Structures are given as structure tokens and as C-alpha cells.
Structure 1
Amino acid sequence: MAKKFVVVDLETTGNSPKKGDRIIQFAAVVIENGKITEEFSSLVNPLQPIPAFIEELTGLRDSDVRDAPLFQEIAGKVSSLLKGAYFVAHNVLFDLGFLQEELLMAGEEAFSGPVIDTVELARFMEPEADSYKLADLAEKEGLSHDRPHQADSDAYVTAELFLLYLDRIGKLPEKVLNQLASLANGLKSDLNLLLHAIALGKTPEANLPDTLVTVNGIVLKKQFETIIFDKDGANHLIYPFSVEEKLGLIRNSAASLEPRTGQFEMMDEVFHSFENGTHALIEAGTGIGKSLGYLLPAAYFAKANQTRVVISTHTIQLQQQLLEKEIPLLERIVPFPVKSALLKGRNNYISLGKFAKSLEEENDNYDTALAKMQILVWLTRTVHGDKDELNLSSGGLLYWNTIRNEKDGLPVSIAWQEYDFYNRARKNAANADLLITNHALILSDLEADGAVLPEYNYAVLDEGHHFEKAAGMHFGVRVDYLGARLAIGHFGLFEQKQLFYKAEKAIRALPLREKVIPQLKLNELVAGTIVEMDEFFRLAVSYAARRGNKSPSKRLKVRISESRNRNEWEALKNAASRFSFCLKDLHSAANAMLSAVKGLNPKESSGLAGSLVAFLAEIEALRTSIGSFFTSGHGFVKWIETDLRASQNTTGLISAPVSVANEISDEFFMVKKSVVLTSATLTVNNSFRFSLDGLGIDPSYVNLLSIPSPFDYRENVKLFISTDLPEINSVPQGEYIAEIAGRIISICDAARGRLLVLFTSHDMLKKTYELVKESGLLSEYALIAQGITGGSRSRLTRSFQKYEKAVLFGTNSFWEGIDIPGEGLSCLIVVRLPFSPPDEPFTKAKCELIEQRGGRPFSEYSLPEAVLRFKQGFGRLIRTGTDRGAIVVFDKRLGESSYGKAFLDSIPPVSIKKAGIVEVIDEIERWL
């Protein structure tokens, strides 16, 4: 494809040329005939000071551009480079808009040729990428990018990425290229021209690669054969009980593993529990290698007994780690083949029939068109068809809800049945030795009478400290504004008209037509339902705002008391009744339309019927949730969550059981032969009592084992307890936060960055982060804050690891699950001991329940819950045997209160020092 592309990048004094911002650096890389033929870059004098934050971002200072040419001096060169070319940039509208203004001011003609946005290009060519930032894409592709946010470096790496994507586009089948080119008409840049040009140069797809197959017009990666359960030769397997046998397995595998006595101890306990049909709680300290500690005995037991063992996790990240790292390691160690499979909930998988039908629809909005393009490319690569593999926008997720796999009772063509990802996942699950799933699906399986997972009697619950809370969410109910809005909005205006007009003839032939047709005015019904929905959630927000008016935070969690707030409760209940009544009418109308649609030609109606069935299911689920919220009574706690800054998208009404011990015990632990529950945090002060009570397990029928970490904490960790920070309630909040910010700055300097700061309140995190940033005293450090700098927990963690000097501010989920080994993290600050606020709805209800039976709420619930969370936070610092680090706890209750000992006795033995901040800083500086 003989085309000229010019890849451009700019650095500027700000975001708006209309407000007087100017270019400070221009760079261009010319690509012709698939090769880089020319590079040009120049600093530019903007005739104005470079703002401090731009200096920090780019490293460019006023002194660098003082003697540089004005833009008008290089404008002629820029115009000549762009002549007859495609304009290519990463986030092209920004660079093009800025450059157009500068060209016009310099007396040159504005660029009028085609433009290509490499962000859009990356989104559909790399649909599985975690991030579409230039630096992240470059790292993913192994490209050198040594000076991010400098135009010449950014332009060159963008050009390299562009060439990579061009090569990959050229290898796509002609069918996929034509589909992409058609959908690209809805994109913001001119990728449709590029895709059409490449498609024209392709030979007909007679030579489709052996790895791909075309089914009903969709190109798919060929699927592996379903695994077959091999029952031959299994009974002779003997589990390696002795240390020598285990060491022999490791040596024979050539796996670079260090022998760990704690891991061997865990293996034996898991195997004994399965053999004897008993449950077990195993606390495995950091560095034990607990994944292999349960996988190896589970594999031996499953194989020898011709059964399956279910491995359940709480997070997707651990599932991926098991599949991509731990199970391949296991396969190298054991002397027999291990069949593993992953099974998630049905809605996680794509329905190929619905997707193919959706490709026939036109008038896509931007997000839908881009999502379709992502999925077309993804289907040529995926063997799982799992949504979690994709990086979809929020609009793309809306579209996914229309093509996800659902139990809708509609006939599926034979061609699709063979390639249905969910059915294949279920077949693999039924034939696996080790079946990996998640806590939510295990709990769903209890209520579905075993219809979700294949039959099993043995399970390992990893991240087991989350199982009780997962059960609370499962047995409870949540009604949130965003979910309700998405369910009702599932039926877009265009789709309604399409359905109505296509079904019109069939509708007229129905009996009682006069009664049916008014019901089919879905536009009016949807609009009326939205009015009632808005009123219902408005009342909920109003209730929360009044009850939470003493809180300085805009994020509110307010308990609903039916007896104390009778009038408000009745008003909310009446609004819910009107909302539910509208949903019922909407359901009836959609159901009538479904009857009409089924009278159409099957080929024409299948996609329409599928959309209606999905819509009906969502509306019915919403009605059921609303009803459950208001009818759940004794033993349940109800509350409203909202953020007053954006109440529509953040408001939810939650009803949860105060205790799930009886349900978990009766429906799960009493039914299964052996369940091993493991985590790094199951004991409080060397006792499993808190975990056992929450799970409803009788200590007489469970094996308990706590295996300490093999790491030398006393040698490698110093824990400092601050003694001179004022009590939080003794000074104004602003003064307290100023003290915290000052200490973080000082400790950061002493530790030279690599600092993780854990908060218990997002509002305190936000205010502290802003104060530290505004001070300018850590300008050379990357300051990364949860909920502020954007991105998921894993994305923020990766950003933190990229910088030599960085501070990561986190709360809630950052107390656990992030893994930063080695020098990536050298200092941890715990701002407050992680007690749940006493007025937090669930905590308050839990404490009331304990009080009613004559117990002690603080020692039985509040303290052990905080200790387990503290242990999780403590575990972030040391991830390998060679790690060293310091922990600073600002909360002096740890060293002064009677209950502080419970925290300290629950972590590994470490060097502890109580000191003022000056002494703490000196010690850290000397030690690190």
C-alpha cells in the first residue's frame, strides 16, 4: 500500500489553543512504503512561560526553548511534510487541533487530508490491552520509550506502533477487514479509508489460515477439542508423603523452586483433609507458596479418585495467575497429565448468534461501532469467549449486554452450537480434574440445585477470608440507579422502532388487537418508567443526605430504620411501588411484542426475539430485587449508598443478612465432603475463632493449621509507631490532615520514594493527596492516588512500579491483593488502624446482634475485623525473602491501647520502635 503517513506529536503549554496555549516542541516521523524515511523535530519558543506542571510532565523548561525558533519559522517545513499525507497521532484530535491553529497563525494553509488516531487503532487491534496510553502500549510491545512526554520520543514510538498495527491488519482475513472497514465509518478518524485500501489489496480469502474458521460469516479461532476425562491408570497413583519424594518431583521438573517446609506441610494437610472427608482452615503466611500448596495434592486426589476438585477464588487476577503461571508449573512437576478448566457465570460469555445478528444492524453509535470492531478482531484470537479478556468502554459494556450469552430459551442454530463458548466451557468443566471458578458462582450453584457447576464434593476456597462477605452479597440484594437505568435503557429508540415496524403485520393478526397495540407503545412506557425511577432514587438520595448531614464526606452510607423513620420509609416504599408497577406494565408490553415477533419469519425474528427476551429478563430481575429489598425483614440490615457529587450514578439501596453463618453451614459445608479454606489472614491473635464463627463451622469438625511465613521479618522489617501525632478528635480535621501530609513528605524524602500510604477514608486520602501535591515539595516524585489519578487497582500499581520515585495513596482494596516485590516498595505508611466506622450500617447491625445475645461487640467483631485487615496491609511490604522495608503507623493507639497487642501479636515478629517523627525519619534514612 503505497501511502505516505506522517506521525506527529506536540508538547504544549496547555490544553487550549483558543485560550492562548502554544506549542513548545514539534516532532514528525515520515513513513513511506512501510518504512520510516524521515524524522524532524524542533523545540519551539512559545513566547510565554512554561507552566510548572508542564515542566514536571515534559522535563522542558523556559531555558530550553528561549533560543528555539518561533513556530512560524518552521511552519513551512511542517506544511511540506504533511502535503499529500495521512496525519497520524496518538489522540489525533488534540494534536491536529493545536497544529491547525498554529499553521493558520503562521500564514500557512490548514491541513485538510485524512487523519488516523492510533488510540482508536489500538483499541480494536489490541482489544485485550489493559491501557491505551502510549507508554503502556509501547511497554506491551517491547518498544523502547525512554523519554515519555517529549515529542520526538513520543512521535517515534507512535510510528513504531503504527507500523506494527499496519502489519497485523494486513494479516487479517479479507472478511474481517471488510467488516472492520464498514464499521469504521462511525469512528472519529479516517480509519475506514485505510482499512478499505488494505482490504482492496488482499487476495480472496481462499487461503484462510489453519488456525481460523469462518462460521455464518464470522471468522473465529479454531477451538481445541473438549478435554476427555481419562480414567485409565489413575488408581495406581500414590501421593508423595515424604519430603524426599516431594523434593524428587521438584528436581525432576527442572522448575526453579526453592524447597519450602511450610508448603510441604500445607500439601499434606490438604491431601489428608480430602482423604478423610474433613474440612480445613489453613492460614498460609506470605512466601509459603500456597497456590502450589493446594494444587499439587488436589491434582493427586482428583486423579487417583476419578473425581474433580473445584478451586474457587475471589478475584479475576488470581484466576489468571492460576491458569497462566501456577497450573503450567504444576503440570511440569507431577508425573501425570492434569486437566484444568475455567468456568464463569453464563453472562461472561459471548453469544455468537446475537453478535452476528447485531452486525446486520446499522446506525450504531460510536461506542457500539468500536466495540463491534474490537470483538471481530478478538474472535480471531480467543479460545474462551470471555468478556473479562476485553477492554470495553462503558458504552461498549452496554452493547455487550445485548450480545451476552443468556438462558433465553431461544433456538440456537446448529452451526453456533458447535462453537458456543459457554457450552464448551461447561463441557470442559465437566471433564476437568481441577475446575477453577469464583466464590460468586459457587454460591449461585447452591440456589440452582447444582445446575451451574458440574457435581463436586471437594473444594479449595483461596482468598477464603472473602467467602463470608461474598455470601452476604449473594444472599442479600442491591438495587442501584445505574443498573436500573441500563436495564430500562436496554431498549433503545431505534431498536423499538425496528421491532415495532417489523412486527406490525404480525401484531394486526393477533386476537384482541385493540387491547394489544396500546401496550406496545414502549417509548411512552419507557419514558414513564424512567420518571418513576428518578423519583424513587431522588427520595433515596434525599433520605441519605438528611440522615448523613453530620458527615463531612460527600460519600454517604446511611442505614434505613423502618421503625425510627416511619414516614420516610413509607414514602420510599410508595415510590418503589409506583416504579415496580411501571416495570410490570413495561414487561407486559414487551411480552406482547415478543408474541407478535415470534409470528414473523424465523430468520427475520430471531435477533429481535433475543433482544426482547433479554429485556424481559432484566426487567423481571429488577422488579424482583426491588420487592426483595422491601420484604427482607428480620436478620437483614438495609442502607443507602450515594455520593452527593454525582448521586445518579452512585446511588444504591442494599439489603444484606447480618449473619450468613447458618446458610453457609447448612447449604455448603454440611453438604460437601471436604472444603479447604485458605488465606494469608484467617487468625486473630493466633486464634481461628473469628473466621469459624463467621462461616458457621463447628471447630470440632474442622482441621486448623497456621503456617508462618518463612521470611525473616525481625531482620528485614522495622515497624515504627508514631508517638507525637495528635489524636484525630483533639484537633480540627484540616490541622490533622496537614500533620499527616507533612509527615508523608518527610518520610518520602527519607525513604527516597517507593512509598505506599494506606488510608481508611477516601476523603482523608483525597485531602492529604491534594495538600502534598500543592506543597510542591515532592515535585520530583510521581504521586498516584486511588480514585483521583484514574485507573483500576492493577493499573495504578503498574504505574507506581514504573517510576523510580513514586508515592501511591490507597484505601479499601489497596489493603490487600497488590503485589510489589523487591525494591518496588520500601516503605509502608498506615495512617489509621483499619476499624470500620461504628456508624457504618453493617458494622452497627452486626454489633447490635452480638449485644442482643449478650456478647461483646468490640472484642467479638470490631477488633478482629480490624486486625485481619491490618494483617492484609502489613503483608503488602515483604513479598520475597530478600525484601527489606519500614512500616510507619501514625495511629498511636497501636502502642498505647490495651487492644494494640492484638494487632502486634497477629503479625510476624518484627523490630518495633515507638518514636517521634524526627527520630523515625532518622532511623528510616539510616536503615534504607
Structure 2
Amino acid sequence: MLESTLKEGIQGAYSQFLKSRGLKARPAQKLMIAQIARTLAGIGLGEKGERLGESHVTAVEAGTGTGKTIAYLLATLPIAQARKKKLVLSTATVSLQEQLVNKDLPEVVKHAQLPVRYQLAKGRGRYLCVNKIEQRMERQGELGQMALYEDEVAEVIDPRTLDLYRTLIDKFASGRWDGDRDNLAEPLDDEVWRPLTSDHMQCSNRRCLNFSSCPFYRAREQLESVDLVVANHDLVLADLALGGGAILPEPGDTIYVFDEGHHLADKANGHFAFAMRLGSSQKMAAGLTKRLNGLLDDAAGALVLKDPVERMAGPIRDLELILEQLGPAVEGLMSGDSPPERLRFPGGRVPEVLIPLCLDLTRACERLQMQLEQLVAVLREAMEGEQSEIERAVAERWYPQIGSLWGRVQQMSWLARSYATPDEEGRSPTARWINRIELDLSRDLELRSTPVSAADTLREHLWEVCFGAVVTSATLTALGRFDQLLEQLGLPAETACVRLESPFDHYNHGVLAVPAMRTDPSDPQSHTEEVADYLAQNLPAMEAVLVLFTSWRQMLATLERQTESIKNSVLAQGAYSRQEILKRHRARIDAGERSIIFGLASFAEGVDLPGGYLTDVVITKLPFSVPDDPVDATMAEWIEQRGGNAFSDWAVPAASMRLTQAVGRLLRTEQDSGQVTLLDRRVVTRRYGRQLLDALPPFRRQIAS
């Protein structure tokens, strides 16, 4: 129940915020505040402040312009403080995290007079590992870490990169940089940055000589003293996988807000995805003995290391033998008159020929993990300065390498176990498939495994243990319903769900046009040619345009058919980073020039180009899933097996959500105006077309007959 003092506090904060900002109350924003407040304040409390009952989660779809960020901050902050709970705001994108920390939270503190201590939380991968960069500098070109795959890391550091590393360590040592990748003035490429970071398998924590200056742990210490943590979905999921409370606050004492909540299911699925490259794994196994002997030589044959190394001889031989047998078995499945580039196992059911081999691989990896874990423990003790026959410098040099090996063997074990273990009856299946991987000088086979639904995992590790939660986004519904969201996230059917319409005047400010088209996307080549012709004819009359494609092939083929004048105005995905494309687009518009963005799915959401920065959105094709995507195909089979219709129950709702996201790029403020053009007549000619159109904002329609 929302007690009067808490209700008055929330209302007072909202009134103060509006007054200080000189704003008027938005009806939808008030409704969102009330919905969140009712849900969270209605949570029953036990004697120790623990949650009682199950009605502790709400889902709120808040259309663009609702002011959802301010709404959930003003609703959750007073309740979290009153209940003595931590607040975790989780997003899917860095841009929203930055907006929360740099804009929204300071505004709430200032204008609503709600004092709150907050901190941005990131994973280790965003921070410099001082040990790693020191080792890279010392070795001057030798590998300073174990690569996940040998083909992914160059063995020689070029002079330009070395100069860059010297600059980084100088900036860090002088205090001009805090070690946070996102705080660098100039962005770094992933291949340059990746060798300078660590993970939990390689990090020696307090035993590291550089622990006191470690950027990651400096940031981590600050989290303990704050009321609110801004994180991302990946970090929340990683924390939950470790039992909760390892990185972020304890779930039972936490209220979560999942902004951009439509990404949470996919993030969770990806978090429990495993992969293993056969050829690369065979090379790793073949080199294990040599690497371990190198450790023994460096440690002068320390007896405390010699015993676990010797006990690894058997598991290493087993691992090599099993991988040698697994290779031909997998290759046999991928052979034939027309060898496939990808082989998906229907229903996620692995062929019988692979199951015993994968079971043996799991056991060999688990035995190997036990000894690697012991090696890690011995090296850790040596770094603690305790009585040890291993020099601390040796332990520090080898700890991250052995930890990385341990992590890689663990990944192999997880993949093998997924292949060897049938899915539980009645639960959602796991998609399993094999890819051919093209490398620079060779090819490899990659075994992959991904759950089609993380509903059970989220239910068990998040919803059942957290104190309370809010899931929100501008697009949560599919075809106007929350059913698919609730199923994907594992939320109970009785979860309180509210859909709040955008306050924008879509009818008078926007047009949805479906021009006459001769071709259907079912004929990809002809449709692409007609799309290219349509754009060649109409783009010259447009100034600020976003053209959205569903495939690289169509985008590149369309671009190739444009005139030089149009090509010079196009910023195509792949030519620059997304942020750089948006930056250049704004600069061109500011200079009075025409600017056209050609993009794929990543440009269909999270792109905020208000006013004159975007007046036309062209969608070349309805955003249905790729037919041969292994995860979607396995999901479709599962739906059919349960008596459903995969197309109407899954594909159409998913396309509806993506289409709504894409259309939402047009109007970003109440003053914006423009046109969305859909070059796919299936919204008119197919039975499901009416459903898709009716789920979109109420633009004025211009549909050619």
C-alpha cells in the first residue's frame, strides 16, 4: 500500500521538479509514476525488510515523449530510500547510461531536491589492467596474454600501437586519465584495447601489486557507498550468474529498473550462449604441455607446481584424443555433394554420433579444470607473499595466463555439456548448430549452443530473488499486447502491465506512406532493383534521411545503383562507427548539406535525431527474422510442437516490435514532423499487414492502391 507520507513525498518531488524546470505535468508521465509507485510501495515487508508476496514487478511501455526516465526516477528513488533498498538502473546502451549519469540524475537531484549518491558501474572490460599494459610494454611484441583463439591476436605489436600504449600508461601514471576506456578523448579500436584488460579468471584481485591503483577496483569501491548504481543488462546478468551481490548490490535488497527492457531477453539468451572452435581447440590442447612446462621452468621446477602439472598429463592426452575423434565426426556431418556452411540440429537435438564424444570431452575438461584451479590457487598464494618456493614475479607473470587457460577449458566444458545433455522435457529447447569459419589462411569448424528462451533462468535468478523491478521501454508490446514480453522474460501472466501512448500529435505531424510497388520482397533481386530505382528518383528531393535495410546485400546493391551525387551524400553503415556516422550526419545538416544514412537493424532503434536532423525515414522491407537464423528456427519448431503457429505467434509479433522501433526514429520531440515510407506492400496485400499497421503510431496514412 502506498502510505500517505510516501505518496506526498513522491508528489512533492514531482511538483518541485516541474516548478523548478518551468514545465507542465504530462498525463502519461503522471500515470507512469503512479503505476510504479503502486507496485513497489505495495510490496509486503518481513521482519528483516525482506519482500513478502509476488506482485513486485511492473512493465510499463511509455511512448516517445512520455518522459519515462524522469518518471521512474521520481517514483523509485523515494521508495528505495524509504524501504532502505539499493536502486540499480540497467540499460542496454552506453548512450543511455551516459544520459542518466550526465543529465537525468543531476537534473533530478537539482530540480526535485532529491539527494542521491549514484555511480556508473561497468565490467572489467571497460577498464585498463595495469599489469597487462606493463607486461605488454616489457615484452615489446611478445604475447602478453592467452588469446581466446590463436587467429584473433597479432603476435607482433607494431610501433604505432606501442607508442599508443606508452601514451596511455603515461596519462594514467600522471593522473590525466583514470583508466576508464570511455573517458579517453580518442576512442580505441577493440583489437588495440582488448589485450590491456582482464577478466575474473585472470585477475588476481587484492594479491596484485597494482591493486591499490587498479581502475576497476577503485570504481568498484565507490559502489558500496552509493544509493543508486547505473549498470547495463550484461553486467546485471553477469552478477546474477555469480549468485548475485558479487558485483552489484544483493538482489534481495535491490529495486531494479530495466530501461530499454525489450533487450533483456536477447541479452539473457546471449549470456548463456557457448561456442568452441575445433581446430583452434586442438592447437590449444596440443600446446598445453609445452606451456605448462614453461611455467615449471620459469618457477625453477617448484614442487608445489610439479604435482598438479604431472596430474594433468592424463586429462591432456584424453583431451587431445577426444578432439581428434570429434573433428572427423563433425566434418562427416558437414560433408556431402554440397557441404553446408551451417548445419543446424532440428529441435536442438544433437546427432547420436556426437553425444558420447561430447560427454567424454566434458569429463576430460572437468578433470583438467580441477588441476588448473589448483595451479591458480598456488600462484595466488605466491602473490600473497606467503611462504612459497615461487617468486612473486613469476606468479604474477603466469597467473593471468593460467587463469585464461582455465577459462577457456571451462568454456569448452560448457559447450560439450550442452551438446551431451538433452533439454529437459517441457522446458524451452537450446539451439545447437555448427558453422564453418573462414580465417585468413585456413578454415575452422565452430560448435555453437544458445538457449531460445532465458525465461526460466530469469525467473529463477532475477524475478524470484529481487525485492522489486520495473521493466520499461518505448516499445514493449507486440501487436499492442504484452504476451510475448511476459513469456520471453519469464514473468507471471498477472504482472501489472501498462501501455502509455506518446503525447505527440502523430496524425498532424507525420505521414506513413506505402507507395505502389511492382515487386514483392519474396523476389529479393527484383525488389532490391525497384528499391534502388525508387531511392534514386526520390532521394534528391530529401534532405535529412534514414534508410533502413534488412540485409547488407540489399544495402550495398542499392548504394551501388545510386548516382554519384547521392553516393556522396550517403553515410553507410560499416564505413564508420555508428556514433561517427551520427556525428557526421549532424554536421552536414548544420552546414546546410543533404545527409542520408544507410543502416541496418542497429540504426532502427536508439537513434535520436530530433528536428531538422531527420525528416524522412525509409524502410525498405518489413523486419522479419532471417529465415535461417538457428535460434529463431529452433524457437519456431518448439512453438509448432506445442500446437502454435510460429509465424503468427512469433514472427509477426517480433516484426511488429521491430517495425514500431524503426518508425519511432521519426518524431523525437513535439515539434518534429516528417514522413515514414515503407517500400513493402505486404502490409496491404497480406492478412497480417493490418495488424502491423494498427500497431504503429497513428500517423496520417498515404497508401497507394
1:850-888 Cα shifts (integer Å, max 9, x gaps): 222222222221111110000010111111111111111
Answering whether residue 30 of structure 2 is matched by residue 264 of structure 1, we say yes
1:119-146 Cα shifts (integer Å, max 9, x gaps): xxxxxxxxxxxxxxxxxxxxxxxxxxxx
Query: Structure 2: any 5+ residue segments left out of the alignment?
Result: 44-55, 143-156, 383-387, 424-428
Structure 1 range deviating more: 797-806 or 577-586: 577-586
> Deviation at 1:616?
3.1
Identity %: 26
- Quick check: 1:583–1:619 contact (8 Å CA) kept in 2? no
> Deviation at 1:327?
1.2
Bigger radius of gyration: 1
- Quick check: 1:532–1:579 contact (8 Å CA) kept in 2? no
Answering whether residue 465 of structure 2 is matched by residue 668 of structure 1, we say no
Answering whether residue 403 of structure 2 is matched by residue 614 of structure 1, we say yes
Answering whether residue 611 of structure 2 is matched by residue 801 of structure 1, we say no
Equivalents in 2 of 1:546, 1:499: separation in Å? 47
Answering whether residue 700 of structure 2 is matched by residue 911 of structure 1, we say yes
Cross-structure match for 1:212: none
Equivalents in 1 of 2:335, 2:596: separation in Å? 34
Write out aligned runs for 1:590-739 (5 A).
598=382, 602-634=391-423, 635-641=429-435, 652-700=446-494, 702-729=495-522, 733-739=524-530
Equivalents in 1 of 2:485, 2:308: separation in Å? 58
Cross-structure match for 2:644: 855
**Aligned match for 2:555, one of 765, 769, 774:** 765
Change (3 A) 1:873 1:643: farther
Q: TM-score, normalised by structure 1?
A: 0.62
Equivalents in 1 of 2:138, 2:554: separation in Å? 51
Q: TM-score, normalised by structure 2?
A: 0.80
Equivalents in 2 of 1:422, 1:537: separation in Å? 44
Equivalents in 2 of 1:693, 1:511: separation in Å? 52
Equivalents in 1 of 2:273, 2:249: separation in Å? 25
Answering whether residue 263 of structure 2 is matched by residue 466 of structure 1, we say yes
Change (3 A) 1:837 1:611: closer
Answering whether residue 264 of structure 2 is matched by residue 479 of structure 1, we say no
Which amino acid in 2 is paired with 1:705? V
Change (3 A) 1:311 1:485: farther
Change (3 A) 1:857 1:373: same
**Aligned match for 2:573, one of 786, 789, 792:** 786
1:243-287 Cα shifts (integer Å, max 9, x gaps): x863433323xx465643322322222222210123111001111
- Quick check: 1:725–1:890 contact (8 Å CA) kept in 2? no
- Quick check: 1:370–1:396 contact (8 Å CA) kept in 2? no
Write out aligned runs for 1:196-211 (5 A).
none
Answering whether residue 533 of structure 2 is matched by residue 742 of structure 1, we say yes
Cross-structure match for 1:422: 216
Equivalents in 2 of 1:650, 1:889: separation in Å? 40
1:688-734 Cα shifts (integer Å, max 9, x gaps): 1221222222232x2221111111111111111122231233x5x44
Aligned residues: 651
Higher relative contact order (CA 8 A, sep 6+): 2
- Quick check: 1:632–1:655 contact (8 Å CA) kept in 2? no
SS at match of 1:312: strand
1:529-567 Cα shifts (integer Å, max 9, x gaps): 899699959967993998786xxxxxx664234999848
- Quick check: 2:549–2:600 contact (8 Å CA) kept in 1? yes
> Deviation at 1:461?
0.7
Change (3 A) 1:843 1:594: closer
Structure 1 range deviating more: 823-832 or 417-426: 417-426
> Deviation at 1:411?
5.2
Change (3 A) 1:643 1:833: farther
1:290-313 Cα shifts (integer Å, max 9, x gaps): 111211222222223322111111
Change (3 A) 1:660 1:518: closer
**Aligned match for 1:826, one of 615, 620, 630:** 615
Equivalents in 2 of 1:823, 1:573: separation in Å? 62
Equivalents in 2 of 1:545, 1:316: separation in Å? 45
Cross-structure match for 2:146: none
Cross-structure match for 1:133: none
Which amino acid in 2 is paired with 1:766? L
Write out aligned runs for 1:289-368 (5 A).
289-353=67-131, 355-356=133-134, 359-363=137-141, 365-366=157-158, 367=161
Cross-structure match for 2:195: 399
Equivalents in 1 of 2:58, 2:487: separation in Å? 14
- Quick check: 1:484–1:622 contact (8 Å CA) kept in 2? no
1:52-111 Cα shifts (integer Å, max 9, x gaps): xxxxxxxxxxxxxxxxxxxxxxxxxxxxxxxxxxxxxxxxxxxxxxxxxxxxxxxxxxxx
1:364-394 Cα shifts (integer Å, max 9, x gaps): 6223553353243246457864344453334
SS at match of 2:497: strand
Write out aligned runs for 1:107-506 (5 A).
239-242=8-11, 246-252=14-20, 255=21, 259-277=25-43, 278-353=56-131, 355-356=133-134, 359-363=137-141, 365-366=157-158, 367=161, 370-378=164-172, 380=174, 385-389=179-183, 391-401=187-197, 403=198, 408=203, 412=207, 416-450=210-244, 451-455=246-250, 456-479=253-276, 502-503=298-299, 506=300
Query: Structure 1: any 5+ residue segments left out of the alignment?
Result: 1-234, 550-555, 917-928
Change (3 A) 1:354 1:782: same
> Deviation at 1:439?
1.6
SS at match of 1:452: coil
SS at match of 2:561: helix
Which amino acid in 1 is paired with 2:265? E
Change (3 A) 1:562 1:873: closer
- Quick check: 1:683–1:906 contact (8 Å CA) kept in 2? no
Instruction: Tell me the C-alpha RMSD between the 2 structures.
Output: 4.3
Which amino acid in 2 is paired with 1:891? D
> Deviation at 1:762?
2.0
> Deviation at 1:576?
10
> Deviation at 1:621?
2.7
Structure 1 range deviating more: 421-430 or 359-368: 359-368
Which amino acid in 1 is paired with 2:630? P
Structure 1 range deviating more: 383-392 or 342-351: 383-392
Which amino acid in 2 is paired with 1:767? A
1:663-710 Cα shifts (integer Å, max 9, x gaps): 32233223223211001111233321221222222232x222111111
SS at match of 2:334: helix
1:386-429 Cα shifts (integer Å, max 9, x gaps): 3444533344234224x55656556526x744444333433332
> Deviation at 1:828?
0.9
Equivalents in 1 of 2:329, 2:529: separation in Å? 36
> Deviation at 1:833?
0.8
- Quick check: 1:826–1:886 contact (8 Å CA) kept in 2? yes
Equivalents in 2 of 1:889, 1:647: separation in Å? 43
Change (3 A) 1:511 1:310: closer
Answering whether residue 630 of structure 2 is matched by residue 837 of structure 1, we say no
SS at match of 1:778: helix
Change (3 A) 1:478 1:418: same
